[in-house]
Amino acid sequence: MDVNELSSELSKTNDRTEQIEKVSEFILNQKKIFNSDKALSGTQIFNEYQKLSSEDNSFPSIPKNTFGIYLSKISNSAASRINCQGRKQGYYFDRIFEQIEETTKTHAENDQEFEDRKQQEAMEKGNLHEKHLYPFLEQWLFQLDNERVADISSNRSQGKWANPDLVGLKIDNLFGNTEVEITTIEAKLTIENWEQWIFEAVAHTIFSSRSYFAFVHSEDHLNKIDADLKHYAETFKVGVLIIAIGASDYLKIQKKEQFQLTDENYKIVEYSPAPFNIPHVKFKKRFLKNLGIHEPKDLYCFGKAVET
């Protein structure tokens, strides 16, 4: 990255943490500060930024004290590649951490590629797969008065267990302030291993107002569902949706035989309603940014609106 690219990156955000992290990473990389032996103090990094900003008026003005406070917080973040081994030890760009991150990301991508291949094979055979459920769950989200709805199952930017399959956004304006209520759905083909998969939906409550775990089940056998499922949902404050189909159709899914979900052969049952949750604004903001939503106008471009 050169100075012009840095300037371009800084122009895309008004978030102080992002600005200072981008600036500090740039300076540490430019000066090849890759280990603690060569670490720079916060003042040294700030002075380097002052030199850069004096040559480019588009760089944001950041007070020295603010720069130092944010840089200290950034170095303590598990997600940051800027490290500081202790008070007054200075800052450096941690390449080992970057390699660990890349390796973890590669493993996750390989796992996802395997899942994607399984899905593609199932779809080519005409078998029902998770992706076939999404359009019907999208309709359900619109019925809940979500203005924008999207399939984000292919999004890898949120981190492990933080990538819901579907998201719906309710957008309200109150005295000039934009309020967003986020509803997420984690969908599975069957109830199998629900004790594990429900915790994906639980993980989403950190940024969503309502989080659901959804799966397909025989409508004739809803009474046979493990009662613990509802207890888990109530305890961990998530909702449960069941895509209920006929028993003979459900048997086809279990036998991996061809079956197609249509508007006529299913209904969605809200087995356990999702209670309203007030997520931490930090994680809600991060989630929206990872979806490409940086300001209110982006909300109305996200996903799709109900067809009129």
The H or E element containing residue 211 is: strand 210-218
Output the six-digit token pair for 20. 């200072």
Range of the domain at 42: 3-93
Mean per-residue pLDDT for 226-234?
93
| 102 within domain boundaries | no
In terms of domains, do 86 and 132 share one? no
Last residue of a domain, one of 77, 93, 109: 93
| 307 within domain boundaries | no
The H or E element containing residue 242 is: strand 239-245
pLDDT (tens digit per residue) in 14-64: 999 999 999 999 999 999 998 888 899 999 999 999 999 998 888 999 999
Radius of gyration over every alpha carbon of the chain, rounded to an integer in angstroms: 23
In terms of domains, do 202 and 286 share one? yes
Give the sheet arrangement for strand 267-272, strand by strand: 148-151, 166-174, 177-188, 210-218, 239-245, 267-272
Give the integer Cα–Cα distance in Å for 119 and 51: 53
pLDDT band (50, 70, 90) for residue 99:
low
Nearest to residue 146, comparing CAs of 165, 172, 124? 172
**Structure-model confidence comparison of residues 79 and 246, the more confident one:** 246
Q: What is the mean pLDDT of the chain?
A: 86
Mean per-residue pLDDT for 288-299?
92
In terms of domains, do 42 and 185 share one? no
Give the integer Cα–Cα distance in Å for 127 and 30: 53
pLDDT (tens digit per residue) in 186-207: 999 989 899 999 999 999 999 9
Output the six-digit token pair for 30. 């430019």
In terms of domains, do 139 and 71 share one? no
In terms of domains, do 71 and 132 share one? no
In terms of domains, do 286 and 147 share one? yes
Q: How many percent of the chain have pLDDT more than 70?
A: 86
What phi and psi, each to the nearest 5 degrees, are found at residue 210? -140, 135
Give the integer Cα–Cα distance in Å for 45 and 86: 17
| 192 within domain boundaries | yes
pLDDT at residue 100, rounded to an integer: 46
pLDDT (tens digit per residue) in 235-263: 999 999 999 998 888 888 888 888 888 88
Residue type, 81: R
Q: Is the confidence at residue 101, as pLDDT, over 60?
A: no
Last residue of a domain, one of 53, 72, 93: 93
pLDDT at residue 113, rounded to an integer: 59
The model carries a pTM of 0.66
DSSP E strands, 81-176: 82-83, 92-93, 148-151, 166-174
